[in-house]
Amino acid sequence: MDNYSRKVLGWSVSDRISGRGSVKVIEQAIQTARKYHPDFISYLVVDGGSENHNSKVDSLLTNQPIIKLTAQKDIASSNSMIEAKNKLIKYNCLYKKDIPDKEALIQALAGFFEEENAKRPLHSLAGFTPDEVYIEGKNPDTVNFKEDYRIAREKRIAINKNDPCRLCVQ
C-alpha cells in the first residue's frame, strides 16, 4: 500500500504465509508503481515476520529501487497504516459476507479493493480517492476541503431540520 495515497498496490490470497507470497505481492506493487511512476524510488515498510525477511524477498529487492525498512527497528514508526487497512478488510468485507471457498474470497477482495482504491473518497485525502491521488496526481488541499466540508454539513443540517420527519424535528 502506498502510505501517501493509501492505494493498495498489490494483494494476494494464499493458503499460508511465506516469502513466495510476499514476493508475489511486492512484484504486483512494483508493476503498479512503474506503470504510474516509472522513475519511482520507494521504501518498503515491513514488520518483523519471516515472510518479509528471507532470501526470496531480499533477492527480489536487490535490483529494485526499493529500500526495505523494518517497522520499529529501522524506523521509529509502525506499520499501523497497513494494519488499519487489514482491519477494514476484515470488518467491512470478510465478516459481512458468506465466503464458501477460495474463489469467493478472491472475488470479495477484488471488489473490496476496487471500491477502496477507485470509489471511496477519504477524508484524509480531502475527499479524493486513492486512485485520484496516486494515478491522477491530485493534491489534497485540506484547507479548502475543510471549508467545503463545513458548508456541506451546514446544508445537510438545514435540509434535515426542514424534513417533516418527527424524529428529526425536535
Higher pLDDT, 100 or 147: 100
Residue 158: the pLDDT is 87
Q: How many CB atoms lie within 10 A of CB 73?
A: 10
Residue 170 has pLDDT above 90, yes or no: no
For residue range 15-25, list pLDDT tens digits in order: 999 999 999 99
| CATH code at 19-134 | 3.30.420.10
Residue 117: the pLDDT is 97
Which pTM was predicted?
0.81
Residue 151 has pLDDT above 90, yes or no: no
Which helix (H) or strand (E) segment is 147 a member of? Answer: helix 142-161
Residue 167 has pLDDT above 70, yes or no: no
Distance separating alpha carbons of residues 69 and 82, to the nearest angstrom: 14
Residue 66: the pLDDT is 94
Cell of 83: 494494519
What 3-state class would DSSP assign to 61?
A: helix
Average pLDDT over residues 115-143: 91
CA angle at residue 114 from 98 to 131, to 5 degrees? 155
Residue 2 has pLDDT above 80, yes or no: yes
Residue 153: the pLDDT is 86
Dihedral pair phi/psi, residue 11, rounded to 5°: -155, 160
60 and 36 Cβ atoms separated by less than 8 Å? no
Q: Cell 426542514 maps to which residue? A: 162
Residue 164: the pLDDT is 64
97's CB contacts (< 8 A; 6+ apart) are 104, 108
Residue 55: the pLDDT is 97
Whole-Å CA distances, 6 to 121, 128, 156: 11, 11, 28
Residue 142: the pLDDT is 66
Dihedral pair phi/psi, residue 169, rounded to 5°: -100, 110
Question: Which parts of 15-157 are beta strand (E)?
Answer: 42-46, 66-70
Displacement of CA 41 from its chain's centroid (Å) = 19
